[in-house]
A = this chain, B = another copy of it.
Amino acid sequence: MKTADPELMRAINRFHVMDAIRRFGPVSRVELSQLTDLSPTTVSAITAALLDDKLIVPLQVGALRDLGRGRPRVMLKLNPDAARVVGVKLAADQITIAVTNFCADVLGSLALPIRIDRQTASVIADLVEDGVRRCVSDAGLEMSDISGLCVGLPGVVERAAGVCRQSPIFGERDVAFGPSLTERLGVPVTIDSDVNLVALAEHWFGQAREINDFLVVSVERSLGLGILHNGELFRGANGLGPDLGDMMVRLPGPGGGGRLADLASETAVLAEAEPLLRNYDDDATATPKRRLSLLLQRAAAGDERCVALLAAAGEALGFAIANLIALFAPPKVIISGRLLATSEHFVEPLRRSVAAFLPPSLADVADIVMREWSDGFWVRGAAAMTLRDLYGAPWGTTGPALLREAPQTGGEPL
């Protein structure tokens, strides 16, 4: 814990104000004063500083006239042009990149449907570098306009060090991807688990805006877990993001290990489904997505074995989720998976097994919802992660400090 000095004090209150402005759209100073429990005087001082730094702007007058007499409120909002950041999402078969402004509005995006799976880290870094440069220039910007970049990827990530301990998309272990990209692009780069990004996105502009504790589970090629706990992203002891795929849900048996990744990921389900699909889909080289949808079709058509297979996967995931609920007691669990999570043959068993495995004292604490995220959503989460740093949350391990003074362009002062 840092020592408390006036600077920290100001940083904390400044962050409160910024956060309130971000969350509650255009707000007046009086409202901010109520929202933050700060005195009007202090709010005035802080907003003056923020206006001075061009991080916020007063809303053009003539906007919403609040019925009533008195002096009209001046509404304040984030200055979209206060900074630009880049978000990158790495998946096995696609690189998605987006440039956003300070409000996390997407200014330009780029999707590269490339299999980066098992490529060298440096090759991937090359691809990302090129993609980012291209995306930035397509948005009519220079790299020097960019204040920061965040890369989300599946696997175990040590955010503080910028190191990816292990990921399905890297052959290597312990890849220092963050520093590598920082050097290539000349811009501060952070990396994080992809699911953390989407968890932050849900918290900032998704379904979980009001909720400070929730779990995010993504079922894709691999399994991801993001935890928001007490309003902060949860990380293990070294800032390590936990990997849901590493959770054990069965005793390792003859059929394979008991890791959840071996039971409920797309990859695992497809591997098991292979013999079942052989009759219907001779093309074993079809994309996983196609093969998965074939499996779902077969299940929907009533193929017992396909149904059982999906049910087994759902149950395994439910087992793990029940354990997580027992630990974190989150009021909400958000589950997503490009295809799997859309099938009742997967979701129903999942729900049932969560209910069955949850201790009675925790029954009904967690509301389990399914949700599909576009690539844009992930990437917006990545951008949000960088913005969060720019806002300057003074507590928690914010990771490497980004430049505080963001390059400015427009913004009209009072």
Contact = CB atoms under 8 A, between A and B. Distances in A.
A303 interface: no
Contacts of A231: 1
B248 A330 contact: no
B246 A326 contact: yes
Given A156-B361, A251-B319, A361-B173, A242 B326 contact: yes
Given A242-B327, A252-B356, A3 B237 contact: no
A13 interface: yes
A322 interface: yes
A250 interface: yes
A231 B237 CA distance: 10
A9 B6 CA distance: 8
A228 to B, nearest CB: 10
Contacts of A236: 213, 327-330
B247 A250 contact: no
Contacts of A342: none
Contact of A243 (B9, B212, B229, B326): B326
Contact of A237 (B2, B8, B10, B328): B328
Given A9-B6, A237-B331, A328-B237, A165 B361 contact: yes
Interface size class of A (residues with CB under 8 A): 35 or more
Interface in A351-407: 356-357, 359-362, 365, 395
A287 interface: no
Contacts of A213: 236-237
A240 interface: yes
Query: Which of A2, A16, A38, A357 has the largest count of B CB atoms less than 10 A from its CB?
Result: A357
Given A237-B331, A240-B329, A322 B248 contact: yes
Interface in A1-46: 1-6, 8-10, 12-13, 16, 36-38
Given A9-B9, A361-B165, A247 B326 contact: yes
Contacts of A182: none
Nearest to A331: B237
Interface in A287-325: 319, 322-323
Contact of A329 (B229, B237, B247, B329): B237
Contact of A250 (B9, B156, B229, B251): B251
A10 B5 CA distance: 9
Contacts of A5: 9
A166 interface: yes
Contacts of A165: 361
Contacts of A238: 329
A213 B240 CA distance: 12
Contacts of A259: 359
A43 to B, nearest CB: 11
A240 B8 CA distance: 30
Interface of A: 1-6, 8-10, 12-13, 16, 36-38, 156, 165-166, 173, 212-213, 229-231, 236-238, 240, 242-243, 246-248, 250-252, 258-259, 319, 322-323, 326-331, 356-357, 359-362, 365, 395
7 contacts: A1-B16, A1-B395, A6-B9, A240-B329, A248-B323, A259-B359, A323-B323
Lowest 9 A-B CB distances belong to which pairs? A236-B329, A213-B237, A246-B359, A4-B12, A237-B329, A4-B9, A166-B361, A242-B327, A240-B329
